[in-house]
Amino acid sequence: MRYALLVQGAPYSSQASHSALRFAAALLARGHNLECVFFYHDGVYNAARLAAPPQDEPHLMDAWCALNTEYGTRLQVCIAAALRRGLLDEREAARHGKSGYSVQSPFELTGLGQLIDAGLGCDRLVTFSP
């Protein structure tokens, strides 16, 4: 089956990211496809490229990136939720006159339409909220 996940919890604040990653690993192990993970509300903080957690703690951002590298899972970030929280890719940073950027590939800033597409196009959409 084709799965999509919606993550609305910030990393290290709630269990949402951990629950979603654990569920992702389990569904992939059962032979399903994970088409995309959509980050919305405070979940957009999962895409912060400068995240530097202690080395003896799970690195959530690396775990998301591994899903993209190993399984081609798209990591889509709601652009409206991201920009107002200071999460901008290089293009948006330039557009808003910011000196640095905080989101990079494989995370992509997208619109809510992508979430609708995931809900319509995938067999299952599972939400993990704070």
CB closer to other proteins out of 25 and 93 = 25
CB closer to other proteins out of 25 and 66 = 25
CA dihedral of 74, 77, 78, 81, whole degrees rounded to 10: 170
- Least separation in angstroms between residue 18's CB and other proteins is 9
Return phi, psi of residue 118, to 5°. Answer: -65, -40
CB closer to other proteins out of 6 and 103 = 6
Q: Is 122 a catalytic residue?
A: no
12: helix, strand or coil: coil
Instruction: Choose among 60, 58, 25: nearest CA to 44.
Output: 60
Binding positions for other proteins, rule: CB under 8 A? 1, 3, 15, 19, 22-23, 25-27, 29-30, 32, 124-130
Radius of gyration (C-alpha) of the chain in whole angstroms: 14
- Least separation in angstroms between residue 4's CB and other proteins is 11
Annotated catalytic residues are 78
